[in-house]
Every structure is written in structure tokens, then in C-alpha cells.
Structure 1
Amino acid sequence: MNKSRIPAAQKEVLSLLLDDHKRAKQLFKDFESQQDDAAKEDIAHTVCMELQIHTELEERHFYPFLRRQDPEAFGDLLDEAKVEHDSAKSLIGQILSMKPGDDLYDAKVIVLGEYVSHHVKEEEEELFPQIISKKIDLREMLDPMMETKERMQGQLAPATA
């Protein structure tokens, strides 16, 4: 194992996830400041699509890999993340079946943002530092995560007329 490559692989994988976190936080902020219903709907659909992709990356690749590396160290955090993802998926489904102006539409998007903010904080302040301190080699994660992300972006992209 080439130890000098581990930090670079960690940076690439964690940067992929961190970039998603930053994008979601910005979209939620944009939603809350937006007054136009059509713009709100576009923002909500975009953040829901991006969260669907992000949760798939974590659930299909990232979390199972970490659980195999050190079940004791990561188990509780990954269990909590699974519950958080399930709650987020439920809200995403509800939001995508609604329109701005429907009862609780804005509230559901805002609560989803709060769930995501909590989840991001745990990952960035607890999970990611453990990965770095344990020098876990994430190289094998990068290509599958990128392939899944690209495939899902193509599947979930809105059809253009």
C-alpha cells in the first residue's frame, strides 16, 4: 500500500461529499430567500435530485466500505446516518409530489434542510475526522462513486423541451 497516496484519495472522496454538502446548504438558503413559486419549485426539485444522488453514493459505496473497515468505530454513526437518510427520503418523496402553495410545502423543504444540516454536521465533525485520523485508504471508492453520480445525474436530470 502506498501510504503517500492515501491522503490524496481521502481528499478526493471527501471533497466529492463536501462539495455536495456545500451545494445543498446553498440551495436551501436560496429556497428560503426566494419569493417566486416557480423558482422555489426549481430549487426544491434540484436539491431533492442532488440529495437522492448523494444518499445513493453514501449508502451504496461509502457507508458499507467504512463499516467493513472498522465496524466498532463507525457503526453508531452509520446507523444514525441511515435513519437520517430514511427521514430525508420520506420528505423528498413528499416534496416531489407537491407544488409551492400546497399546505406544508415550504415547511417540508425547510425541515428537510434542517435534517440535512444536522447530518452534514455529524459527518464533517465526527465521521470525516475519524477517517482522516485512521488514515483509511479511500482510493477504491472514488471511481465507483463518480460512476454512480454520473449515471444518476443522467437518469434524474429533468427533461428539456
Structure 2
Amino acid sequence: MTDSKIKHSDAITFLKKEHREVEEAFAQYEELGPKAYVGKKKLADKICAELIVHTQLEEEIIYPAFLEKISGQKDLIDEAQVEHDGAKTLIEEIQQMQADEELFDAKVKVLSEYIEHHVEEEEKEMFPLMKKSSLDLLLLGEKLTERKQQLSRS
């Protein structure tokens, strides 16, 4: 491999890295003071933007590949999709609010809890199944990286 070629991680490494980044952002949010409205809004918007891209990557690339190669696990993907839908609703509400509005902090906290639960299920249930399957995790990692770059440009 030449230096000019991008080194891609496998899909699980890619997703876990994103999970850790959003967990860190939620932790940073929790550390902000109760009246740090500008910082809270900026960080909440960043978290929401990252989650929008992340959920799109999973829905476009990971979930279809998972369903194609791993039989008998449609319920797991259905549940993940419902969790995404709930998170998207909260994300939309948070994006439309200002940080000094009533329930802003509560909505960010609940979003954090949704994501924590979702990540735990993915990492403990989906990822082990993916590792044991015939999924080409390196190819999926390349697709995730390329699609994320496309989404970041738009």
C-alpha cells in the first residue's frame, strides 16, 4: 500500500471509533455549567450532526449488509431502526431549540441515554454476529469511510 492511499479500518473499528467520539461529546456536554448556553448549543448541534451522519451510514450500509449475510436476526435490525427513529425525533427537537429553553438539557440527556443503549446493543449483539459472519468487514469499512466523506461535503 502506498502512502497516498487512505488506510481504511474495518467496519466494526470504524463504528466503535464513532461511538467513542459521541460518548466523549456527551461527557463534555455534562461537564458544562448550567448557564453555559452558547457552549451547550454548539456542542449539542455538533452531537446531533454527527449522529445524523452515523445513523445514515448504518441504515444505508451496515443494516442491509447485516440482513443479507446474517439470517434470523431481522428483529435486531428492526429494533435498531426504531431506536434510530426515536433518536432522530429528539435530534430534530434539540436542533430547533435554544439551550436556555426549558427541557433542552433533558432532551440532550435522554438522547444520550438512547444512544448509550443503542451502542451497547450494537457492540454486544450485532458486532459479534458480524465478526462470525461472511461479511467483508474491510470492504464495509471502506464504504463507510467513503460515504461519510460524501455526506460531510454536502
- TM-score higher than 0.5 here? yes
Percent identity reads 37
Tell me the residue number matched to 2:46. 46
- 1:33-89, CA deviations, whole angstroms, 9 ceiling, x for partnerless residues? 1021111111101110100010010000100011011231x2111111000000000
1:30 Cα deviation after fit = 0.8
Map 1:1-161 to 2 at 5 A.
12-35=10-33, 36-72=36-72, 74-155=73-154
Count of aligned positions:
145
Query: 1:154 and 1:42 mapped to 2: Cα distance?
Result: 20
Q: Deviations over 1:8-46 (max 9, x none)?
A: x8x621111001100111111111110211111111011
Give the secondary-structure state (helix, strand or coil) at the position aligned to 1:100.
coil
Give the gaps of 5 or more residues in structure 2. 1-7
Q: In the TM superposition, what whole-angstrom CA distance separates every residue of 1:69-111 from its partner, at most 9, and x where no partner exists?
A: 1231x21111110000000000000000011011111100110
Superposition deviation, residue 140 in structure 1 = 3.2
| Paired residues of 2:10 and 2:140 also in contact (CA < 8 A) | no
1:133 counterpart letter in structure 2: K
More helix, by proportion? 1
- So what's the TM-score if we normalise by structure 2? 0.88
CA-CA distance at 1:153 after TM superposition: 1.7
Cα RMSD (Å): 1.4
Structure 1: how far apart are the matches of 2:141 and 2:31? 35
Gaps of 5+ in 1: 1-8, 156-161
Larger deviation: 28-37 or 107-116? Answer: 28-37
Please report the TM-score for the alignment, with normalisation by the length of structure 1: 0.85
Structure 1 runs of 4+ with >6 Å offset? none
